[in-house]
Structure 1
Amino acid sequence: MESNETKPEKVHTSVLLNEVIEWLAPKPGGLYLDGTLGMAGHSSAILDAAGEGAQLAGLDRDEQALKLAGTRLEPYGEQAHRFHLAFSKFEAALDELGWDTIDGVVLDLGVSSLHLDRGERGFSFIKEGPLDMRMDPAGGMPPASSIINKGSYSDINRILKLYGEEPLASRITKAIIKAREEKKITTTLELASIVEKAYPAKRRALSRTHPATKTFQGLRIAVNSELEELQKFLQRIPDRLNPGARVAIISFHSLEDRIVKKAFKAESQNCDCPPMQPICTCGKVKRLNILSKKPILPTQEEMAVNPRSRSAKLRVAERAAEHES
Structure 2
Amino acid sequence: MEPRGRHVPVLLERCLELLAPALQRPGAVYVDATLGLGGHALAVLQRFPETVLIGLDRDPEALVHARRRLAGYEDRTQLVHAVYDELPAVLGPRKVDGILFDLGVSSLQLDEADRGFAYAQDAPLDMRMDQTTGMTAEQVVNTYPAADLTRILRTFGEEKFAKRIAAAIVRERAKAPITSSARLAELVRESIPAPARRTGGHPAKRTFQALRIEVNGELSTLERALPAAIGALKPGGRVVVLSYHSLEDRITKQAFAELARSRAPIGLPIEPPGTEPTLRLLTRGGAELPSEAEVAANPRAASVRLRAAELHKGG
Same fold per TM (> 0.5)? yes
Q: For the residues of structure 2 that align with 1:298 and 1:162, how far apart are their CA atoms?
A: 26
Structure 1 position 322, deviation (Å): 2.6
RMSD (Å), alpha carbons: 2.3
User: In structure 2, do the counterparts of structure 1 residues 111 and 11 end up closer, same or farther at CA, with 3 Å as the change threshold?
Assistant: farther
Which amino acid in the other structure matches residue 43 of structure 2?
Answer: A
Spell out, residue by residue over 1:56-109, the C-alpha distance to the aligned partner (whole angstroms, 9 max, x if none): 0000000110000001111112101100000111122223xxx62111010100
Q: For the residues of structure 2 that align with 1:253 and 1:284, how far apart are their CA atoms?
A: 32
The answer for the alignment partner of 1:170 in structure 2 is: 163
Equivalent residue in structure 2 for 1:14, among 9, 18, 21:
9
Equivalent residue in structure 2 for 1:288, among 279, 286, 292:
279
Q: TM-score, normalised on structure 2?
A: 0.93
Give the 3-state SS of the residue equivalent to 1:91 in structure 2: helix
Equivalent residue in structure 1 for 2:246, among 227, 241, 254:
254
Structure 1 position 137, deviation (Å): 1.3
Which amino acid in the other structure matches residue 50 of structure 1?
Answer: F
Aligned 8 A contact 1:289 1:317 in 2: yes
Q: For the residues of structure 2 that align with 1:125 and 1:207, how far apart are their CA atoms?
A: 17
Spell out, residue by residue over 1:206-256, the C-alpha distance to the aligned partner (whole angstroms, 9 max, x if none): 224110000000000111000011110112222211111110000001010
Matched, 1:83 2:75: no
User: In structure 2, do the counterparts of structure 1 residues 268 and 74 end up closer, same or farther at CA, with 3 Å as the change threshold?
Assistant: same
Equivalent residue in structure 2 for 1:128, among 99, 112, 122:
122
Q: How many residues align?
A: 311
The answer for the alignment partner of 1:115 in structure 2 is: 109
Give the 3-state SS of the residue equivalent to 1:75 in structure 2: coil
Unpaired segments ≥5 residues, structure 2: none
Q: For the residues of structure 2 that align with 1:176 and 1:137, how far apart are their CA atoms?
A: 24
Give the 3-state SS of the residue equivalent to 1:74 in structure 2: coil
Which amino acid in the other structure matches residue 89 of structure 2?
Answer: A
Which amino acid in the other structure matches residue 307 of structure 1?
Answer: P
Q: TM-score, normalised on structure 1?
A: 0.90
Give the 3-state SS of the residue equivalent to 1:249 in structure 2: strand
Q: For the residues of structure 2 that align with 1:308 and 1:7, how far apart are their CA atoms?
A: 16
Structure 1 position 154, deviation (Å): 1.1
User: In structure 2, do the counterparts of structure 1 residues 284 and 161 end up closer, same or farther at CA, with 3 Å as the change threshold?
Assistant: farther
Aligned 8 A contact 1:264 1:290 in 2: yes
Structure 1 position 272, deviation (Å): 8.3
Unpaired segments ≥5 residues, structure 1: none
Matched, 1:227 2:214: no
The answer for the alignment partner of 1:181 in structure 2 is: 174
Which amino acid in the other structure matches residue 309 of structure 2?
Answer: A
Matched, 1:24 2:19: yes
Aligned 8 A contact 2:142 2:178 in 1: yes
Which amino acid in the other structure matches residue 61 of structure 1?
Answer: R
The answer for the alignment partner of 2:136 in structure 1 is: 143
Structure 1 position 14, deviation (Å): 0.8
- 1:85-104 to structure 2, matched below 5 A, reads 85-95=82-92, 100-104=94-98
Structure 1 position 290, deviation (Å): 0.7
Q: For the residues of structure 2 that align with 1:138 and 1:77, how far apart are their CA atoms?
A: 26
Q: For the residues of structure 2 that align with 1:200 and 1:179, how far apart are their CA atoms?
A: 18
Structure 1 position 276, deviation (Å): 10
Equivalent residue in structure 1 for 2:32, among 2, 15, 34:
34
Aligned 8 A contact 1:57 1:93 in 2: no
Matched, 1:306 2:293: no
